[in-house]
Structure 1
């Protein structure tokens, strides 16, 4: 299922370019003026609709890359186990909140532990520790929960219900730990880089570069390493992979570690992009992550990137003509439209049924 992009990719890309062009043109025609956008940087009054659309495309591409980093773990897990993990959003939240916990100069507490204290690590060091700890939580989940469920041959549907329960439990645990307020990882504005009438925030650009490097690392892992090829083999046919001598359970555990670490890193970068994170930040974008994975093709790691870029651009550009609170609905509407044309997703393959 994790295959190299081929002619299907270029055909799908052409279809998406046509759809995106039609969407942008419709936005330019219908947009009488900019909506009160919920952007990181406010747009100057009197900005033309065309300028606003292009600026939102830039914002959407940035958001799409960061969303892809958070969503690729979902695709890896589905590809190797068939499980739709509804607790993945909390993994995204955990990375951001743990980074805040380790780096803030405010007093912090741990539930059931008396007293408060300050850690105050540099942000970069706190982020590295948070990613490592996030990866460990992935190992712990598979060791204590998902591995035993697989050994007992629990059906994927039942495992999905377990993931929903785990999501609710973790959501309440995160609220108990960090409260219901949003937390900013840094108070520095970071400034912004302007080019003509357009701009990109320095923190946003830094986040996108880090995310792009991480995504490139995942691609190289899947295409160029023995473990990556084993991961793709398990995704294609677990029984045949096991018969070939591949230790399926070990590879799946590695996938869980990678998925959790990537989700944690995605949560950190999304918190920098969105100027903060709350206990429900991951849960709020969980449907967008599922949309990106489904749009790109279930189980397709490269498809998750393409799907996330589409979701990011559509959700941001749509704020020109609809209220910002409805922007995610527009992305889900595009998902429905594309799947009506291509049910297997952008990079998915048609499969014989029956």
Structure 2
């Protein structure tokens, strides 16, 4: 017997497949037109068949979508448990990449307002682990000294959202003051390629995707099979009923903030490897994509954020076959609008009765 969640998953997957198929078919049709050839990026070898471009960009889009999902899942968990759309989440993504560079680079670095320069130079894996732990600690500090006091004073969600916008701007300027306006590479090696026929994927990208997939699997197992994970889902469904059932709501929300910031930092590190660099505004540039993934998958649905991120990643990359690469994020937001017109609650979201 198929349960209601299973039916929602099947319907969502079917809608996802229909949208992906329609978009790829349209790309094939437009890709054969002369106008499409005019906007092809110069990096693509002349004469490459459209079918090869579509499949290669789909591979790149899936890789980008998995990495984007790390940040989007944390954003979705925060929204699901608190109702807050955290506009400062992009800066948490940036923090992970910048802190890893700060700890691993052999260049001289400094701390604002602290005189002198020094070099840390840790190996990249150790620097990444320490950065993730520190980022998780910032999540604890944020909830302990900012968001929890606001909730206790019953500050409205819209006012908390405005606070998050101010925090985002403050952190954005702080990161620029700290690390400057230039982009920083976590590693000087681009790695090799794994080729299969006419297609390829970078070894560094593949490693990043594997790490991201393991982390996402860990989040899924946590939500499905642990007491705190089930408590997290219960709070997302009905906070008042969860509190009446004996669940420590504030404690679970604090755990969610720690997880979300740690996942954002991991996402920032892997995206820095994927994009060959991290800048003070790296997270801010993909913030709308994270919101698009969360909204597309279904607000407050952690698994929906994963599905939404994959859709956003694939659409953004495949669209570059027919439009300028600078417009690829706009195409992802366009597909968000189209899907929401068909299914307003998102791919895995639930219909809500009003009135």
Q: Shorter-normalised TM-score: what interval?
A: over 0.9
The reply on whether 1:163 has 2:164 as its aligned counterpart is yes
Aligned pairs (5 A) from 1:7-86: 7-31=7-31, 32-33=36-37, 35-37=39-41, 43-86=44-87
**Are 2:15 and 2:347, in contact at CA under 8 Å, matched by a contact in 1?**
no
**Are 2:293 and 2:305, in contact at CA under 8 Å, matched by a contact in 1?**
yes
The answer for the alignment partner of 2:352 in structure 1 is 351
Give the 3-state SS of the residue equivalent to 1:199 in structure 2. strand
The reply on whether 1:175 has 2:176 as its aligned counterpart is yes
**Are 1:72 and 1:259, in contact at CA under 8 Å, matched by a contact in 2?**
yes
**Are 2:62 and 2:314, in contact at CA under 8 Å, matched by a contact in 1?**
yes
The answer for the alignment partner of 2:311 in structure 1 is 310
Rate the CA distance shift 1:34–1:95 in 2: closer, same or farther, 3 A.
farther
* C-alpha distance in structure 1 between counterparts of 2:212 and 2:50, whole Å: 30
Q: Identify the range of structure 1 (17-26 vs 319-328) with the bigger mean alpha-carbon deviation.
A: 17-26
The reply on whether 1:203 has 2:207 as its aligned counterpart is no
**Are 1:294 and 1:307, in contact at CA under 8 Å, matched by a contact in 2?**
yes
* C-alpha distance in structure 1 between counterparts of 2:47 and 2:103, whole Å: 42
The Cα RMSD (Å) is 1.4
Could you report, residue by residue, the CA deviation over 1:178-205 in whole angstroms, capped at 9, with x for unpaired residues?
0000000000111110000000000100
Query: Shift in Å at residue 35 of structure 1?
Result: 4.6
Which 4+ stretches in 1 moved above 6 angstroms? none
Give the 3-state SS of the residue equivalent to 2:176 in structure 1. helix
Query: Shift in Å at residue 45 of structure 1?
Result: 3.6
Give the 3-state SS of the residue equivalent to 1:185 in structure 2. coil
Q: Identify the range of structure 1 (17-26 vs 315-324) with the bigger mean alpha-carbon deviation.
A: 17-26
* C-alpha distance in structure 2 between counterparts of 1:11 and 1:79, whole Å: 21
Query: Shift in Å at residue 5 of structure 1?
Result: 4.8
**Are 2:40 and 2:322, in contact at CA under 8 Å, matched by a contact in 1?**
no
Rate the CA distance shift 1:5–1:312 in 2: closer, same or farther, 3 A.
farther
Could you report, residue by residue, the CA deviation over 1:224-259 in whole angstroms, capped at 9, with x for unpaired residues?
000001111111111111111111000000000000
The answer for the alignment partner of 1:124 in structure 2 is 125
Q: Identify the range of structure 1 (294-303 vs 3-12) with the bigger mean alpha-carbon deviation.
A: 3-12
Aligned pairs (5 A) from 1:336-347: 336-347=337-348
Query: Shift in Å at residue 46 of structure 1?
Result: 2.5
Query: Shift in Å at residue 33 of structure 1?
Result: 3.2
* C-alpha distance in structure 2 between counterparts of 1:34 and 1:87, whole Å: 38
Query: Shift in Å at residue 26 of structure 1?
Result: 1.1
Give the 3-state SS of the residue equivalent to 1:200 in structure 2. strand
Rate the CA distance shift 1:340–1:34 in 2: closer, same or farther, 3 A.
same
**Are 1:34 and 1:49, in contact at CA under 8 Å, matched by a contact in 2?**
no
Aligned pairs (5 A) from 1:83-162: 83-162=84-163
**Are 2:69 and 2:309, in contact at CA under 8 Å, matched by a contact in 1?**
yes
**Are 1:33 and 1:49, in contact at CA under 8 Å, matched by a contact in 2?**
no
* C-alpha distance in structure 2 between counterparts of 1:162 and 1:4, whole Å: 37
Give the 3-state SS of the residue equivalent to 2:115 in structure 1. strand
Query: Shift in Å at residue 134 of structure 1?
Result: 0.4
What count of residue pairs does the alignment treat as equivalent?
A: 349
* C-alpha distance in structure 2 between counterparts of 1:285 and 1:335, whole Å: 15
The answer for the alignment partner of 2:243 in structure 1 is 242
Give the 3-state SS of the residue equivalent to 2:200 in structure 1. strand
Give the 3-state SS of the residue equivalent to 2:146 in structure 1. helix
* C-alpha distance in structure 2 between counterparts of 1:142 and 1:4, whole Å: 34
Could you report, residue by residue, the CA deviation over 1:311-337 in whole angstroms, capped at 9, with x for unpaired residues?
000000000111101000000000000
The answer for the alignment partner of 2:279 in structure 1 is 278
